[in-house]
Structure 1
Amino acid sequence: MFRPLVAVAASSLLAAGLTVPAASASPSSCNAVQTNWTAQAQPHAAPEGLLNAYSDTGKGWTGGDSTYSVPLSGSRTAWIFSDTFLGPVNPDGSRPKTTPFINNSFVVQRGSALKTVTGGTAANPTALVPPPAHGWYWFGAAQTSNAGNNLDVVALRFEKTGPGQWDWRWHSNYLARFDSATLKLKKLTPLPSAANVQWSAWLLRDSGYTYIYGVEDLGASKYQHVARVRGDDLTAKPWEYWTGSGWSSDETASVRILEGVANEHSVTRWNDGYLLVTHDTTELFSKRVLGYFSCSPTGPFVNPVELYQTPETGGNIITYNSHEHTDLRRGNELLVSYNVNSLVSDELYTDVSIYRPRFLTVTLAAAK
């Protein structure tokens, strides 16, 4: 695979489809933006080794992409993947051409124990969200809702447009709601899809809202958009869309925030502002992982800092969709993952180690 009287007045304006003005911080009015940040990265951070060893056993998940994570009750972490290979794995590190391949899955971690969660049965595994006719669902950002009882995953529906390998396109956005205890799918609910924005890049809870970061994917150019919903349930309240000066109930009023983001990226609280982590998509098949800073969850995101250059990139191998795992941050040390793939699909069968996420720690510090 490659979100009193003044409030009442604002709600009335949104119901009418009008823009609600909002104060926006200037790009230089917080320390997060004013500071000159430097980055030091260390590759092969946990849980990379744990996932690799699990993959080598061939007893479940053996590789995937997306790589979002959500903490669950019972000291569990749900690792959320889109396209997924399952076992077995041959002794020489290859995988049989007959190995199961599905479009979405979970790997649940409790301590050093990992378990693969799919649909179907052990003998006939299927995607967690069953594919529609002539299409499939890829997973995006996720969070819990309803006091942790739900695991909510944004699911992007794609459809085939012809017989060729690249004959497919994005169709629409959905929310896949799972029971967080059993990880069984409860329902699949349509989400806003009228603005050609895939609202799946990231979910940020902040000041009583969930901010939903999406990408307008035009192929060579990718643009970030921002929406929000009050509370933690993306299906319970009307969405609002950032217009550049305020919020509107009209999805098509959503404006481009930043060009050059990846389809999957992260926006998290940082210092007294916000940090955006993304692969650089201003260049084709880039190896650059960048951090941007802002004083507001709606941007502008400025002062890009190179966090890392992925060593795997080159030849047929590509890297993409880097983002942070906020719940696993330690002080100023970020945990960042990125995906690795090959432009030649046969290589994914020859070498099982290619199609696995990589993890690194990135320490941000103020320049002296």
Structure 2
Amino acid sequence: MRLLARAAAASTLAATALLVPSTSAHAAALTCGGSAAPVFGTATPDASLNTQFTSYGNGNALLDDWTGADSTYSVKLPDGRTVFGFSDTFLGKVNADGSRPMAVADGGTTPFVNNTFVVRSAAGALTGTAHGGTAANPTALLPPRDASHVYWAGDMTMNGSEIQQPYREYKVGSGDLNVTWDANVLARFSTSDLTRPVSVTSLPSGSGVMWGSALLRDGGYTYVYGTEDLGAGGKHMYVARVAGTDLRGTWSYLAAGGAWSTSESAAVEVLGGVSNEFSVSKRGNFYILLTQDTKDAFSAQVDTYLSCSPAGPFTDEKTVYNTPEGGPFGSYGDADVYTYNAHAHASLTTANKLVVSYNVNSLDTTTGPTRDVYRDVSIYRPRFIDVPVTG
């Protein structure tokens, strides 16, 4: 189990010629195309979604149902259902005291797999967990090619009636932190059968960028955002795009001077301090980047940036929430607990608010049932917040 490792433009410029960022000497607020920037209010927990996932995770009667996970992407299907995509996932049951039985690999009864879906009906009820394998022996939706690799989820988008989802492949060694990114792949899923991919194909992987941190459909393109994770050297955002909605098309990369190049090696850094997972969404003339700040280790800050173009530059950084769970003075009173990978959900966002998720985890490596993620099931579950937005 590698829970700790999770801590670890030519035509566009022409199309947005009237949306040039501008500021005045007396006001630092960004404007795009003459429009004032959106205003973000104080974020609050989304009680409805948090309660729903708590009830679903705690009330499972089946061995192969979700009890907690991270990543927490989502996409709305044409039939009204919402599919939540997760990376490392605990399945099984929850004890009456709120603890989780030990993993099967450790002699317990809790299955642990590296990626899953949870489906929400058009009426708003969580209806089931999609995974590979069987109910008695569940496996990842996207099984690894061998025992030394895993796939972790990226953002999700629709191409016609199919889900397309980039995954990042990691090579794993012994120990929770011994992981190395290897490659990016694209999995396609039929909405009529979410338990196995229709196909898995390679995505660009030659520049060290983990593509799929965020996806955005805008102006006839699907923008693909990626993270270059240099460890102590920081995390940096890059931008690519493909015409239409099929990510198997020809990719172009934002290069120096705002040009687009078909060479991945020409891609240039757009912004530093982003997370491995973030989101970019459009509101009026503005593009909102929402990410957990990684300029400081284990930061609790959830920040927004604004741009007049889907390719940046992103400026006007604001903190819209401080996650309360982490560290010795957090809500758990546990120095090992931390939060990470906040991003907004287009499938849930409304005209007046951004619905955002972030993940909670622990650095605790205790062996046995006293390990944080076993003794308290809530420690390894996403949290949802609402960020009010006007303008």
- TM-score, length-normalised on structure 2? 0.85
Change (3 A) 1:226 1:104: same
Distance 1:199 1:192 in 2: 8
Residue of structure 1 equivalent to 2:150: 136
| Equivalent residue runs for 1:1-368 within 5 Å | 1-2=6-7, 22-23=13-14, 26-28=20-22, 30=32, 34-35=36-37, 37-58=39-60, 59=62, 60-97=65-102, 98=108, 99-110=110-121, 111-133=124-146, 134-145=148-159, 147=160, 149-160=161-172, 162-183=173-194, 184-220=196-232, 221-235=234-248, 237-244=249-256, 245-314=258-327, 315-345=335-365, 346-365=371-390
What count of residue pairs does the alignment treat as equivalent? Answer: 347
Greater share of strand residues, 1 or 2? 1
| SS of corresponding position for 1:52 | helix
Q: Which has the higher contact order (CA 8 A, sep 6+)?
A: 1
340-349 or 187-196, larger mean C-alpha shift: 340-349
Ranges in structure 2 where 5+ consecutive residues have no aligned partner:
1-5, 23-30, 103-107, 328-334, 366-370
Question: Which amino acid is the alignment partner of residue 95 of structure 1?
Answer: R
Ranges in structure 1 where 5+ consecutive residues have no aligned partner:
3-9, 11-18
178-187 or 25-34, larger mean C-alpha shift: 25-34
Distance 1:354 1:275 in 2: 29
Give the conservation status (yes or no) of the 8 Å contact 1:32–1:270. no
Residue 343 of structure 1 deviates from its aligned partner by: 0.7
CA displacement 1:229-280 (0-9 Å, x = unmatched): 0011111x21000014210011011000000000110001023110000000
Percent identity, aligned pairs only, is 46
Residue of structure 1 equivalent to 2:3: none
Distance 1:22 1:330 in 2: 28
- TM-score, length-normalised on structure 1? 0.90
After superposition, the CA RMSD in angstroms is 1.9
| SS of corresponding position for 2:55 | helix
Change (3 A) 1:196 1:50: same
Residue 364 of structure 1 deviates from its aligned partner by: 2.2
| SS of corresponding position for 1:205 | strand
| SS of corresponding position for 2:100 | coil
Question: Which amino acid is the alignment partner of residue 214 of structure 1?
Answer: G
Question: Which amino acid is the alignment partner of residue 281 of structure 1?
Answer: T
Give the conservation status (yes or no) of the 8 Å contact 2:221–2:241. yes
329-338 or 277-286, larger mean C-alpha shift: 329-338
Distance 2:91 2:347 in 1: 27
CA displacement 1:124-182 (0-9 Å, x = unmatched): 0000011122111001101111x2x211111110002x423322100000001111111
| SS of corresponding position for 1:49 | helix
| SS of corresponding position for 1:328 | coil
